[in-house]
A and B are shown apart, each in its own frame.
Chain A
Amino acid sequence: MSNYTDSYEGFYTATGAATNIVLPFLPSSVEVFIQGSGAGDNWNSVANPGVVKRAWWFNGMAAGTALAVQNTNGAATDQSVFLATGGISAVEVGETTLGPPLTGSGISMANPAVVTITNHGLSTGDSVLLEGTTGMLQVVGFVFQITRTGANTFTIPLNTSGFAAAATAVVARKVIYPDLYKPSAKFVSAITSATSAVVTTTSAHNFLVGERVRLIVPDFFGMSQIDGVAGEVTAITTTTVTLDINSSAFTAFAFPTSGAVASGYTQPQIIPDSITGSSLWPQAIGAAYTSTAFRGFSLGSAVAGPSGALVLWKAYKDLLNA
């Protein structure tokens, strides 16, 4: 209680998606400056008309809102706007929650499958839980990391072209802060039959090479021989894990039909088991069970900056009103 205000600042290069900033406190106000490229093109109406240049949020404003300044479309004139969505929120995140249900008209038979929901408001990289489908029940209960393809559509990383029929209704719910602990369990969309099985997850995983994982594969998905088997991770990409499990003689992994799972089923999963199977004393501290729960603030898609933009943020904590 020796000072009255704490403040932090920092900058990052935007990816075009919403961003979380971790702070040692819950901020009472936040301001953001979005520069654009090194030449400051975000402040040039010709280069980036209509893009937010500065934004503010303070205690008392609703979460996800912001006061902002942006260029008027097509003119080098500042315009003050109130953003009702996609703005700034102070966040203290200790638990995973779901967003409101978004009701849509279906899921296509395609690779990747296209989900249609009018004005879904989701961004690339968001994780969504699918439920409430009419048909295509074999995707119900999965969490997928999506790619936004438009205001009313997004794709999920799953090949549904071989399914019997498209879904004619769907409900999607955003999984907010899905990875508050690492390593964490993930859904599986494919496993290869190979001397070193390659497991594909439906969203970015946080496993590391050297870690040991266990697979849960119910009979519905073929490859029941691998159910309960643990193996060591030998290689990774964002959504694949290569294991030292020889699955070449196993039954092929395949999604069941919608009718087969109509009376209930459990989805295939990959879960953490231990950090290594090596007999040496490992140094892989990165694979320790760790809480990634955080406090700080989140910048929504409207104020996080366009891809490649340099963004400066400042956050303040007013101790008098804490």
Chain B
Amino acid sequence: MAIITSPNTTAAAVLHSLSPILLEPPTPDFNYHMGAAHDALPAGDGNIRRFVKRENLLPTTVPLGLTEPNPQVQRDVFIDAEMKMYGTSIIFNTQVIIHNQQPMLAMGMESLGVCMRQSEDLILRQFLLSTTGFYNCQNGSNGDIPTEITYVDASVVSTILRTANAQRIFAGIPGELRIGTNPVRESYLMFANTLLQSSLDTIPEWKDALNYSEARQAGYAEMGSLANLRLYGSSQAAMINGSSANGRDVFVNLTTGRNAFFQISQDGWGMKIQYLPPEFSGPIGLNCSLGLSFFQAQAVAQSNWLIKVNCTSKY
């Protein structure tokens, strides 16, 4: 019979019990695709999607006389977008799969799905960062270039878009007799970084989504509204670290009207899931793979209907 002489160094028996609750990986809100108009390139139609835009004719405001006036020239402008293919995959060793196939494949599929949704959003984000113009907030008080966002800046941006005849994305929400709530204006959509929240909370005119007269009309990721802008927040909204005049992080809040930019998919492809069973992987069928691929192109349809609104935080 063994005698335990030093009980303090003897490990207790450890039993493992895997919880059926699958822990959520931290996943940001994917907002950029929400502001895009959507289109699909038909199968077999090449790799360039072309849009045509008619320019307005000059209004005819002078009464006709006895002779016909000269006809106007109808001008068209074209916008092209080139389709690209994206994709990734994961490999499972057969020794894992054979023991526990369905949960492993389901978990792998879920991860790939999130990865792809995040990818399409990041592609749109980088595209819009590269191709659109910007406005630096300049009415704040933090002494930086750009300053923090203010009500006046939001109003200026709304005015720029409205003057360019950009259509608002959201209809207004009329006021109701509920204490602490406010009506919401017709609004453009701003993609804001969640780190802006503390600056927004200091703006007197800031309206949190919970204070909308009809709070249920707020979107899932909606932070609130400022002037004619409704802000949707995400931790992966564009931000450039330490790039202000004084070295603060600059938040690049893309603000858009309706149909200002397009996200184009490949018709008949979508997001394709591909499962390759082990028997196709090699002579002894050691691995199986799960892949996901998609096509995407993007285009700015109206270059003056979207603006990057650059700002820093107040503190």
Contacts and interface: CB of A to CB of B under 8 A. Distances in A.
B246 interface: yes
B133 A291 contact: no
Contacts of A173: 242-243
Interface residues of B, number: 53
B172 to A, nearest CB: 26
Interface residues of A, number: 53
A290 B134 CA distance: 20
Contacts of B137: 264
A285 B147 CA distance: 40
B281 A1 contact: yes
Given A96-B126, A179-B130, A264-B145, 14 more contacts: A1-B287, A94-B123, A132-B247, A181-B126, A185-B133, A214-B303, A266-B135, A271-B132, A271-B133, A274-B78, A277-B55, A277-B77, A291-B123, A293-B126
Interface string A78-109: 00000000000000001110100100000000
A122 interface: no
25 contacts: A95-B122, A101-B247, A131-B243, A131-B244, A132-B245, A140-B145, A140-B245, A141-B136, A212-B77, A261-B145, A263-B143, A264-B136, A265-B136, A271-B131, A271-B132, A272-B131, A272-B300, A273-B77, A274-B78, A274-B303, A275-B80, A277-B75, A289-B127, A291-B82, A291-B84
A181 to B, nearest CB: 4
Contacts of B140: 264
A129 interface: yes
A282 interface: yes
Contacts, number: 142
Interface in B209-251: 240-247
B304 A264 contact: no
Of B74, B82, B241, B282, chain A has the most CB atoms within 10 Å of the CB of B82
Interface string B58-98: 00000000000000011111111110100000000000000
Given A133-B245, A276-B78, A214 B133 contact: yes
Nearest to B247: A132
Contacts of A291: 82, 84, 123, 127
B34 interface: no
Nearest to A100: B242
B297 interface: yes
B133 A216 contact: yes
B306 to A, nearest CB: 10
Interface in A171-215: 171, 173, 179-181, 183-185, 212, 214
B154 to A, nearest CB: 15
A265 to B, nearest CB: 6
Contacts of A13: none
A264 B78 contact: no
A230 interface: yes
Contacts of B131: 181, 183-185, 271-272, 289
A293 B287 CA distance: 30
B7 to A, nearest CB: 45
A96 B303 contact: no
Contacts of A264: 136-140, 144-147
B248 to A, nearest CB: 10
B122 A279 contact: no
A287 interface: yes
A216 B132 CA distance: 10
A2 B276 CA distance: 14
A98 B123 contact: no
B127 A181 contact: yes
Contacts of A288: 48, 80-82
Given A1-B281, A266-B138, A271-B303, A94 B145 contact: no
A173 B300 CA distance: 28
B164 interface: yes
Interface in A102-160: 129, 131-133, 137, 140-141
Given A264-B139, A269-B134, A289 B77 contact: no
